[in-house]
Amino acid sequence: MERALRDFKPEMSIRILCTVLSLLLLPVANVRAQTLTDVSIALPSTSVVGGSIRLADVMGMFEKHGLKPKFTVMDGGAVTLSALVSGSVDAAMLGGTENAVARSRGQDVVILANTYGGFGATLVLDRAVADASGVAPDAPLQQRLKALSGLTLAAPSPTSDYTFAFKSAAAGQGAAPNFVFMSQSAMPAALQSGAVQGYVASAPNWGAQVLSGTAVVWISGPKRELPPEFSPRSSISLQMMRATADGKPEITGSLIAVVDEMIAAMTNRPDDVIAALGKLYPALSAEELKLLFGSESGPWAANRLTVEDVQADLEFALRTGVLSSLEGIDARQMLHP
């Protein structure tokens, strides 16, 4: 005891005390470091076209940027827009058309980040029909459009931009396909039964039939094979109410950072993206996942939208008939900031 007292030095007690305190405070520091900010995001569907934002979550990008997302799948774009405008969600995945419609009604919805550059629709034909046409799937676009004349093709609805784009492009070459309408999920069965000879759908609806050889990709929207006047420059983007975007700058900045990282991953981390796709779409085979990535990774690596891009998409919506007028809609006001 006497020796212990003799060897005792005050600075030793200070070091011991500091060590104990640091150990006690360590869990608190970790909790603070792991605290994430909740952000609610509405989606119009589980479509692959708008899927990159969910891929970002699977790949841990939201957490990396301090966010904890809650995704809510709505029944289409109109309902998604209503959820955003009502304040039920912080952000939403929407097309430029919904933004323009909101703006025409005095709602200040703004685009934060482009998440899908170009058009998400792909036209596939029955393999036997394609072979009988005498036109190769890689023939000049004009020949492939002319080969559609008289064919029965399925599309989502009479007013869908999927219908407008391919019908108008074919008409430009003097071709007149017959369109029938059904859900995208029903299209593969309709092709298999012979009820239709082709269909217009987004991935992954057509993947299994193309891989099996019963169908062939005829015209790819994601690969920008349609003429520019029949294809939007952005199919879907991450949007917010301007008041929310300005009032929550930390969330706004983090969301943009998530999208930027996801865009970079399409080029820098393809294997990780394919693995994440497998978690989002577990029913797809490895071959389908690779086909899906090959089709969609280009549009997912979207460029930032310019005022010119937004204006071009407004004019596309006008040609489709979705918008009756562009009066009072300023493309410059649709982009944030």
**331 phi, psi to nearest 5 deg:** -60, -30
Alpha-carbon Rg for the chain, nearest whole angstrom, is: 26
**For the chain (length 337 residues), average pLDDT per consecutive 10?**
48 48 47 77 92 97 98 92 96 90 91 96 98 98 98 93 95 97 95 98 95 98 95 96 97 98 97 96 95 96 96 92 89 94
Cis amide linkage into residue 337, ω under 30° from 0: yes
Q: Is the CB of residue 240 less than 8 Å from the CB of residue 109?
A: yes
pLDDT tens digits for range 170-179: 999 999 999 9
- Tell me whether residue 217 is exposed, middle or buried, using C-beta atoms within 10 angstroms of its C-beta: 0 to 12, 13 to 18, 19 or more: buried
Residues 88, 165: Cα–Cα separation, whole Å: 33
Instruction: Compute CA distances 301 → 220, 233, 256, 298, whole Å.
Output: 16, 13, 14, 5
Distance between CA atoms of 30 and 22, rounded to whole angstroms? 12
- Give the residue carrying structure tokens 């029944």: 75
Q: What is the pTM of this model?
A: 0.85
pLDDT in tens, 273-319: 999 999 999 999 999 999 999 999 999 999 999 999 999 999 998 99
Q: Are 303 and 111 in contact (CB under 8 A)?
A: no
Domain ranges of the chain: 37-118+232-334, 122-230
What is 122-230's CATH superfamily? Periplasmic binding protein-like II (3.40.190.10)
Give pLDDT, residue 188: 97
Superfamily of structural domain 37-118+232-334 = Periplasmic binding protein-like II (3.40.190.10)
**How far, in Å, CA of 151 to CA of 176, rounded?**
8
Give 103-142 pLDDT, tens digit per residue: 888 999 999 999 999 999 999 999 999 999 999 999 999 9
